[in-house]
Structure 1
Amino acid sequence: MRPTVLCAAILAATFGGQANAARINYQIEVVALHSDNLNLSEDNQVSETVLVPRLKFDVKEEGASIKLEARGEIERRHYRGNEFPDENRSRFAGQLNWSLLPERLSLVFEDYLSEESINLRDGRYPGNLQRVNVFLAGPSYFARFDDATRLQLDLRAADNTAEVSTGFDGRRYSAAAALQRDLTPSSKASLNVAYTRAEFDDPGATVDYTREDGFVRYEGNLRNVEYQLDAGHSRLNRESGGDASTAIARATVQWQISPQNRLRFRGRHQFADEVQDLIIRLSDPDESLAPDLVDISDSLVTAGVYRQHALELDYRYAGDRFGLRLRPMYRRLRYIDQPDGDRTERGAFFQVDYRPRPRMNVFLSGSARKREFLARDEQHRDRVYSLGIDYQLTRHWGYRAEAIWNERDSNLSDPRYEEKAVQFTVWWKR
């Protein structure tokens, strides 16, 4: 993907002389995976063993003029039974903020590379994955009128490409302004307006459009609670077909109940698209770069705009020996011009960790999801469970062993499948 190479070149050129100042972590893994149904088929199962060398890394730098956060994964998959061709997979999320004039002018570069399903209705198996890349860049201007009032203007140009889904390819240009005022030492409000122009390479697959958003934002913290609330209106102007509008209502509330307990709520009602959702998901360090089998995240790779109604709770407990994560979610997506993608999703994810020894962790994770496609009266129910152990032998070496059970039931016969897999990983980390 050309934008990913460009972003890597920018980062290398910018930080070539500051490598000693950046915090760089990396982990090398060798994974052996055996599955009795790697192609996720009901009647034509393929038993396969896969050998996967993998490199994971993250880089963080925060200096007087440069701020960088980047993380990525690169792997090579060798299919020992030759049932599938060997392949490379890679994921990346990076944000670079270069302050040209302190508190006046910054240049921003962001790049997001992910592996997403070609056909959302099928599982994540070899041959049904494609690289999706979003690269955006532009300046940010800042002005301060007094001690409590500030203005920020962001100009961005973005390039989005998909390996297979050509309707996703295109460019977008946006301008956003935020007039912000401090209300109290712990709260502030802002008036926000944004304009986006989206153009696509394949006009037969997706309609070019402009989008105008206006909303007020109130944010702050109260004791152990941080919050951000948005309310406003959005209008979509399409070059062909009818225009549309919707209300904007967004809320994020995070409660640090105790040093070990955290509860976060997110709610969104708005216009959205997969470019926007991909950026939001991958820019969150709490989210996995690659949705694995027990992850309830997944995307339909299209540039179509939809009305999104989403609710999510995320509870985490991290004790000395015991850890717990619970994450129920609900999503309703209604596309403006692609009703075949209209769907409702309900699901929940959990993970339980127990440390019988300081360097040993036993874990149980799982997810359940029900997905309903309206156009075809199609329903899928996915259940995935994983049981394993992670053992750190020394400061740098360790291993991970895991057993996975993956099942899909459906009101249609073809999408059904059941998979049992085991996975063993040896890792070395810096």
Structure 2
Amino acid sequence: MQPKYQCAYLRVSVIAASILACMPGTALAARVDYTVDLGMEWNDNVTLAPSDPIDQRYLRSGLGFLVTETNSAVQAHADGRIEYRDYEDDIFTDTVDGTLSGSLNWIAIPQRLFFLVEDNLSVQPVDALVPDAPGNRQQVNVFSAGPTLLFNWSPTLQGQAEIRYVNSDAEVTDEFNSQRLALALRTIKEFSPTSRASLNVQAQRVDFEDDVVARDYNRYDIFGRYSRTLAQFELGTDLGYSRIDYRQGESRSDPLFRFDATWNPSERHHLTVLASSQFSDTAVDALSSIEADATMPENVLTGDAIVNASPYEVRSLEMEYGFTNIRFDFMVAPYVQKRNYVDSDEFDQDNHGVRTDFHWRLRRTLTLGLYGTYESLDYTQLDRQDDTLRVGATLRYHWAPRWSAGLEWERYKRDSTAAGQSVSQNLVYLSISYSNR
């Protein structure tokens, strides 16, 4: 294993252990769920070559985990997965890939001071324009920590002051590596138990380690937010202004708009709509993707982030419909997005697609899963379009209370207008798993 991979996975263990160590009492106070699997995977194009594919079977093992703790002083969660692949014929060195998403909120003084730690470790491409082969992957980590001070001016009027230190690090793409200091002041007014409004002022100083390729900048945001929460409906809207000032004198500004709404007409159905027009970057996206109610990951997937130093303007619209029943659940999420990079227009893109997921409990001991994603990605400045399809199926048989056998199949296909970038791949994974619950 390469030294940087060893460091990345040491980081996974250290962060997970730190979350447990910070909890009151002992680590046994937290709920720890995990699944260990071991099996054989078959890949008909292990290098994702456009021609002359290499067919190979290799050993694959994984560990998925979910750690949660909630009490009056600490709210913490961490979910992640580590996978090891032992390739034949030394076509690739043996690889270890992993993901981790977690947060720890320590209430130091109730209703006055709390301390928040967040971390996101993911697998991203080194070059997003070429296929997702094992040689085109890197670990990307974004860490954030800092205090929040609360002011209670009246029963319906509160204030917040936040300070966050943020560190971003990529295994290969050094221009992404940065240190950040973020400050925020918020005033929150409650109109009723179901509605509130706030005024938010934020500032962020971004210092990149590689000053030759990356440009240091300051970002400023001011926006108002209104939110309303009812029994079956939730609504939130942000409206304001953002500005990016480069230390070299150049600046860029744009309106800020965000909208989110969720409708739950019954316990079985939910519909969510998200819309935004704002500045963002890869590090900000990584932290915003951390979810407190996440489930244990079943696979380590390579993301689709452009790992560089440039902020970008993003406009997006996404919908998600979900249905849950005793025996099956279903989700479908279409989306459209436009992304324009501030520093370089090479990766400017228009894309749209859809994600879907389905689970059906055929019998008490047998579960069928189906999933699929489709994306059409148009690189507007490169005159290139990539259409990517990923579909798969899983069949899992629980032959003992904590033991199960699984069969997974996946089909990946990318059609590209760029020469030599159209590829396809089929995977089959046969495994045995042990879960502690």
Report the TM-score when normalising by structure 2.
0.93
Give the letter for the 1:301 counterpart: V
CA-CA distance at 1:13 after TM superposition: 3.4
Counterpart of 1:254 in structure 2 is: 262
Q: Give 3-state SS (helix, strand or coil) of 1:138's partner.
A: strand
CA distance in 2, matches of 1:216, 1:318: 35
CA-CA distance at 1:77 after TM superposition: 1.3
Alignment of 1:277-292 (within 5 A): 277-283=285-291, 285-286=293-294
Pair 1:222-2:230 in alignment: yes
Contact 2:66–2:295 (CA under 8 A) maintained in structure 1 = no
CA distance in 2, matches of 1:118, 1:44: 23
Counterpart of 2:93 in structure 1 is: 85
Q: Pick one of 369, 373, 380 that aligns with 1:374.
A: 380
Give the letter for the 2:375 counterpart: R
Alignment of 1:25-424 (within 5 A): 25-240=33-248, 242-283=250-291, 285-286=293-294, 298-424=304-430
Contact 1:227–1:253 (CA under 8 A) maintained in structure 2 = yes
CA distance in 2, matches of 1:284, 1:302: 27
Contact 1:282–1:288 (CA under 8 A) maintained in structure 2 = no
Following superposition, which runs of at least 4 residues in structure 1 exceed 4 angstroms of deviation?
2-6, 284-293
CA distance in 1, matches of 2:384, 2:304: 17
Q: Give 3-state SS (helix, strand or coil) of 2:25's partner.
A: coil
Contact 1:7–1:109 (CA under 8 A) maintained in structure 2 = no
Q: Give 3-state SS (helix, strand or coil) of 1:341's partner.
A: coil
Gaps of 5+ in 1: none
Give the letter for the 1:130 counterpart: Q
CA distance in 2, matches of 1:341, 1:251: 26
Change (3 A) 1:422 1:205: same
Give the letter for the 1:371 counterpart: L
CA-CA distance at 1:289 after TM superposition: 6.0
CA distance in 2, matches of 1:347, 1:414: 23
CA distance in 1, matches of 2:287, 2:131: 22
CA distance in 2, matches of 1:115, 1:290: 15
CA distance in 1, matches of 2:279, 2:158: 27
Contact 2:98–2:300 (CA under 8 A) maintained in structure 1 = no
CA-CA distance at 1:149 after TM superposition: 0.7
Contact 2:83–2:300 (CA under 8 A) maintained in structure 1 = no
Contact 2:81–2:300 (CA under 8 A) maintained in structure 1 = no
**Over aligned residue pairs, what C-alpha RMSD do you find?**
2.0
Change (3 A) 1:290 1:249: farther
Q: Give 3-state SS (helix, strand or coil) of 1:202's partner.
A: coil
Contact 2:374–2:390 (CA under 8 A) maintained in structure 1 = yes
Contact 2:65–2:296 (CA under 8 A) maintained in structure 1 = no
Gaps of 5+ in 2: 1-7
Q: Give 3-state SS (helix, strand or coil) of 1:38's partner.
A: coil
* Deviating more after overlay: 36-45 vs 351-360: 351-360
Contact 2:79–2:296 (CA under 8 A) maintained in structure 1 = no
CA distance in 2, matches of 1:177, 1:100: 19
Counterpart of 2:5 in structure 1 is: none
Q: Give 3-state SS (helix, strand or coil) of 1:10's partner.
A: helix
CA deviation digits over 1:41-74, x for unaligned, max 9?
A: 1114221223222111111111221221111212
Q: Give 3-state SS (helix, strand or coil) of 1:282's partner.
A: coil
Give the letter for the 1:205 counterpart: V
CA deviation digits over 1:274-317, x for unaligned, max 9?
A: 00111122336458869867x9x621111210001111111111
Percent identity at matched positions?
A: 27
CA deviation digits over 1:361-388, x for unaligned, max 9?
A: 2222211111111221011011121123
CA deviation digits over 1:118-168, x for unaligned, max 9?
A: 111122220111000111111110110111111111100111100000110
CA distance in 2, matches of 1:391, 1:99: 43
Report the TM-score when normalising by structure 1.
0.95
CA-CA distance at 1:231 after TM superposition: 0.5
Pair 1:14-2:22 in alignment: yes
Give the letter for the 1:413 counterpart: A
Counterpart of 1:426 in structure 2 is: 432
* Deviating more after overlay: 371-380 vs 66-75: 66-75
CA-CA distance at 1:20 after TM superposition: 2.7
Give the letter for the 2:416 counterpart: S
CA distance in 2, matches of 1:425, 1:84: 22
CA distance in 1, matches of 2:408, 2:280: 36
